[in-house]
């Protein structure tokens, strides 16, 4: 009997210890108790699962949904030439290079895409990565160093912020898109201080275009290097979609252009382009490049094919801009605040978390897929639905979205601006 009691006692002790020590682990407690995660799971606005997807058409829980937040601006993910290129690449190269290029060497498809991008962007050289996040991060993380000044617009993408933080440079912020504020900041820095200015060409949440002509002028006056994230401008602005720097004719005055393949280029991966010396420097020094596996054959091939399509089929970009004007007119007509966006990334700023949720929910119930962006992802008071228009939308679909917005505004008690 004593043996059984001992066994039972030790089993209880073990159970107690498991529960007790599990509770004691602060990191687990943090994960399990995280309020934002609990709210997300309760209201479930994110990570919805589509059973099928084709461009802007999704099926979620058996219901057809129209995607109104896609970054697939030019609708190329189902373009026959893009799909065919990805299939051919898998047949020829398999699914992955399974390692970094430093470790396993480059492949011909890496170099071909880099050369094509360098020519397209008007730069000497280019390096491609498996994610835009890595490309943007690496364009700063090893470029700027401790002791340098990194001068950033506060609204730059998280990938650039992470690069900035990793660099160890002193971070200075100027007011969003405000060149007087930038001028003042630059004037306060020591002339001999090494400086990097970092901006998004098009801000992904706001749809604002960076005022590049004045920016490069200031950079030259103060011997600052300029890094521009063109994730939301490639394929959209500039000659044949060459981006914001090309749009303003300042490509030669910008040192590094980085971006993503996951928007107009309808793939995954990213790029950073600049002088050969700068790109080779990054290849030697960037941990994001050295310690991360190369972009896959299918992703590189589809980006390469999409790059060809955006240059040879201007109709996609033309249609995109027709749709942008139409949706903007609808939002204006409804008195909605779209933060003066001048590009297809069109936000609907509500400024209140709960109203934003109600607006999102009503649109969802009416078959429209949008995404809520809340602080700290956006500045305080800018709680919004981040919408985007693409070349795939029809005028009739945009009109229906306008009708749904009217209903949603009533339900969420969002007042039109006067």
Ligand X SMILES: Cc1ncc(COP(=O)(O)O)c(C=O)c1O
Q: Which runs of consecutive H residues, i.e. helices, occur in 25-107?
A: 26-33, 35-43, 80-93, 101-104
| 85/345 with CB nearer ligand X | 345
- To ligand X, the closest distance from the beta carbon of 237 in angstroms equals 14
In the block, tokens 């505004």 appear at 409
- To ligand X, the closest distance from the beta carbon of 136 in angstroms equals 5
Q: Which residues of 295-309 are buried (b: 16+ CB within 10 A; e: fewer)?
A: bbbbbbbbbbbbbeb
* DSSP-derived secondary structure letter, 202: B
Q: Is 328 helix (H, G, I), strand (E, B) or coil?
A: helix
| 274/362 with CB nearer ligand X | 274
- To ligand X, the closest distance from the beta carbon of 72 in angstroms equals 12
In the block, tokens 């290029």 appear at 101
- To ligand X, the closest distance from the beta carbon of 270 in angstroms equals 5
Count of CB atoms within 10 A of residue 28's CB? Answer: 12
| 162/352 with CB nearer ligand X | 162
| 208/222 with CB nearer ligand X | 208
Q: Do strands 270-274 and 368-369 pair parallel, antiparallel, or not at all (unpaired)? A: unpaired
Which residues share a beta bridge with 225? 196
| 65/231 with CB nearer ligand X | 231
Count of CB atoms within 10 A of residue 342's CB? Answer: 16
| 110/157 with CB nearer ligand X | 157
Rounded to whole angstroms, the Cα distance separating 372 from 47 reads: 12
- To ligand X, the closest distance from the beta carbon of 342 in angstroms equals 16
Residue 237 has φ and ψ, to the nearest 5°, of -115, 160
Count of CB atoms within 10 A of residue 165's CB? Answer: 14
| 260/323 with CB nearer ligand X | 260
| 204/302 with CB nearer ligand X | 204
- To ligand X, the closest distance from the beta carbon of 206 in angstroms equals 11
Rounded to whole angstroms, the Cα distance separating 262 from 366 reads: 27
HSE-CB of 324 using CA atoms within 13 angstroms: 19
- Which residues form the interface with ligand X (CB under 6 A)? 131-133, 136, 157, 159, 200, 204, 229, 231-232, 260, 262, 270
CA 381 to chain centre: 21
Residue nearest to ligand X (CB): 132
**Do 244 and 272 contact (CB within 8 A), yes or no?**
no
Residues 6+ apart with CB under 8 A from 220: 253
| 204/296 with CB nearer ligand X | 204
- To ligand X, the closest distance from the beta carbon of 187 in angstroms equals 28
Rounded to whole angstroms, the Cα distance separating 155 from 144 reads: 19
- To ligand X, the closest distance from the beta carbon of 9 in angstroms equals 54
- To ligand X, the closest distance from the beta carbon of 188 in angstroms equals 28
Q: Which two tokens stand for residue 292?
A: 């991360």
In the block, tokens 């994110």 appear at 46
């Amino acid at each position: 009997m004593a043996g059984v009691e001992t066994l039972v006692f030790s089993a209880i002790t073990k159970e107690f210890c498991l529960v007790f020590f599990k509770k004691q682990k602060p990191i687990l407690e943090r994960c399990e108790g995280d309020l934002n995660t609990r709210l997300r799971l309760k209201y479930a606005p994110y990570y919805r699962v589509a059973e099928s997807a084709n461009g802007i058409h999704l099926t979620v829980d058996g219901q057809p949904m129209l995607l109104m937040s896609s970054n697939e601006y030019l609708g190329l993910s189902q373009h026959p030439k893009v799909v065919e290129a990805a299939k051919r690449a898998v047949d020829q190269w398999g699914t992955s290079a399974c390692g970094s290029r430093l470790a396993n060497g480059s492949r011909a498809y890496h170099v071909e895409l880099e050369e094509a991008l360098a020519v397209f962007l008007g730069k000497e050289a280019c390096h491609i990565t498996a994610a835009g996040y890595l490309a943007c991060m690496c364009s700063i993380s090893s470029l700027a160093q401790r002791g340098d000044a990194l001068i950033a617009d506060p609204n730059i993408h998280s990938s650039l912020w992470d690069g900035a933080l990793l660099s160890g440079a002193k971070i200075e912020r100027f007011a969003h898109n405000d060149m007087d504020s930038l001028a003042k900041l630059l004037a306060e820095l020591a002339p001999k201080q090494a400086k990097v200015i970092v901006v998004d060409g098009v801000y992904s949440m706001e749809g604002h275009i960076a005022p590049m002509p004045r920016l490069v002028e200031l950079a030259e006056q103060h011997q600052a290097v300029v890094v521009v994230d063109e994730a939301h401008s490639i394929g959209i602005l500039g000659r044949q979609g060459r981006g914001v720097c090309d749009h303003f004719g300042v490509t030669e005055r910008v040192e590094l252009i980085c971006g993503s393949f996951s928007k107009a280029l309808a793939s995954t991966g990213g790029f950073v382009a600049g002088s050969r010396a700068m790109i080779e420097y990054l290849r030697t020094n960037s941990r994001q490049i050295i310690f991360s596996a190369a972009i896959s054959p299918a992703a590189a091939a589809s980006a390469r094919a999409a790059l060809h399509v955006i240059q040879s089929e201007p109709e996609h970009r033309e249609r995109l801009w027709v749709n942008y004007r139409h949706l903007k007119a609808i939002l204006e007509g409804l008195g909605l605040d779209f933060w003066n966006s001048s590009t297809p990334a069109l936000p609907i700023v509500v400024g209140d978390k709960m109203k934003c949720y109600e607006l999102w929910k009503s649109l969802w119930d009416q078959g429209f897929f949008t995404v809520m962006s809340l602080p700290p992802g956006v500045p305080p008071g800018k709680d919004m639905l981040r919408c985007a228009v693409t070349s795939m939308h029809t005028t009739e679909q945009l009109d229906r979205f306008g009708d749904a917005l009217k209903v949603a505004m009533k339900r969420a008690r969002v007042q039109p601006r006067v």
